[in-house]
Amino acid sequence: MRKIISRMLVIGILLLLGFNIQVNAENLFRGPECAAYDSLRNRYLITNVGSAMIVEIDSTGAQSYWGEWVPSSMALGCVIKDGIFFYSGSNDKVIGLDLETGNKAWYVTVPGGDNFGVDGLATDTSGYIYVVGRISGTIQKIRISDSTSTEFLSTGLPQYPQELYFDARYNRLVVCSWAANAPLVGVDLVTAEITVIADDIVGWRDGITMDQFGNYYTASEVYGVVTVFDGEGIKPPVEIMGGLMGPSGLYYNWETNVLVIPVSDEDTVIFIEINTNDTDGDGYIDSFDNCVDIENYDQMNSFYKLTWGDNLHVGYWPSEDDHAPLDVVQIACVHQIFADASHEPSTLS
């Protein structure tokens, strides 16, 4: 769903999430690009590529401009770490604003200038922030304490890398790229070794995040889809939303199980409440399971029950059995994602 989602639905979902909505609030989004959540103050901060401004969505659901404005032609990737909201601006700037005061608390000019093209950001557990260059195809590693910058990775990434996510489980950066059929890759923070996480994917990715179960969520800006990937690379990917115009820097809120999708070309931010139950125990949480009541490990589209004489066999259709059954009763198992109204997406625009 897109902007046609009713404002009443917006109100309903955000009330469930602890937000009260001011219905007639002005839409301040101008190309929303990246979302981050300030848990201490129960608010979202959204960068905007069109206005270079940071928009706050507070606990009442109201939008307002937030933070000291630092001269920049755009505001792109973002991440929160140790009381600072970091975001990338223009082609060579990374800016940090104090979450309590909104004042500038940190500022770095990344080597390479306009030839670098700062974009996605990620922080690790060792006091570093990583910045990917969409033009240079490299990653800079910056020590937050003294702003010392070194080149962490100089080559090997897919063309036009856009966003980063730090996966602490494997001590790696996950990188998505804005190029046709570009794979989702991981970069080891000790060895800088690059591994392919998923290569059979729709390209032109401009957003990556992860839930607490190890699933990766990516957004394809060109194709307008958001897809979830098994972080272990075992299960097939699932497209959870399509028809969007420019989805970008995603954020998954581990506290509320809400996926936040800035939609740049629509000046909209979408919130999806994820149902994290696994009713049938097949390893797919219900929001992404095409059959929530029957184990369906390979996510085929239907389930069947075969009766052959007095024997009953239950399995997937079509069967791999060489002996075709004489009597086949196919039981449809088509669970539409978000069919339950309580899991419908909602928008702020």
CA dist 145 and 139 (Å) reads 19
Residue 7: alpha-carbon gap to chain centroid: 23
Strands 268-273 and 302-308: unpaired
**Structure confidence at residue 345 (pLDDT):** 63
pLDDT band of residue 1 (cuts 50, 70, 90) is very low
Q: In sequence order, which residues have a C-beta less than 8 Å from that of residue 293 and are 6 or more positions away?
A: 279, 280, 333, 335
Burial status of residue 200 (CB atoms within 10 A of its CB: 0-12, 13-18, 19 or more)? exposed
**In one letter, which amino acid is 130?**
Y
The span from the first CA to the last CA of the chain, in angstroms, equals 13
Task: Output 114 or 349, whichever has higher pLDDT.
Answer: 114
**Structure confidence at residue 26 (pLDDT):** 86
How does 275-306 read in b/e, with b if 16+ C-beta sit within 10 Å?
beeebbebebbbbbbbbbeeebeeebeebbeb
Task: Output 187 or 61, whichever has higher pLDDT.
Answer: 187
What mean pLDDT value characterizes the chain? 82
Residue 273: alpha-carbon gap to chain centroid: 13
- For 141-185, how does the pLDDT look when each residue is reduced to its tens digit (9 = 90+)? 999 999 999 999 999 999 999 999 999 999 999 999 999 989 999
* Domains along the sequence of the chain with CATH: 7-275+338-348 (2.120.10.30), 297-332 (no CATH)
Phi, psi dihedrals of residue 247, rounded to the nearest 5°: -65, 145
Q: Within 13 Å and on the Cβ side, how many CA atoms surround 256?
A: 23
Burial status of residue 52 (CB atoms within 10 A of its CB: 0-12, 13-18, 19 or more)? buried
Q: How many CB atoms lie within 10 A of CB 323?
A: 7
**Structure confidence at residue 18 (pLDDT):** 42
Q: How many CB atoms lie within 10 A of CB 224?
A: 20
Q: Within 13 Å and on the Cβ side, how many CA atoms surround 80?
A: 21
- For 293-333, how does the pLDDT look when each residue is reduced to its tens digit (9 = 90+)? 767 666 654 443 333 444 444 444 444 443 333 333 334 44
Task: Output 135 or 286, whichever has higher pLDDT.
Answer: 135
Q: Once rounded to an integer, what is the mean pLDDT over residues 38-65?
A: 95
CA dist 349 and 333 (Å) reads 35
**Structure confidence at residue 319 (pLDDT):** 41
Q: Once rounded to an integer, what is the mean pLDDT over residues 266-270?
A: 96
- For 201-236, how does the pLDDT look when each residue is reduced to its tens digit (9 = 90+)? 788 999 999 999 999 999 999 999 999 988 887 777
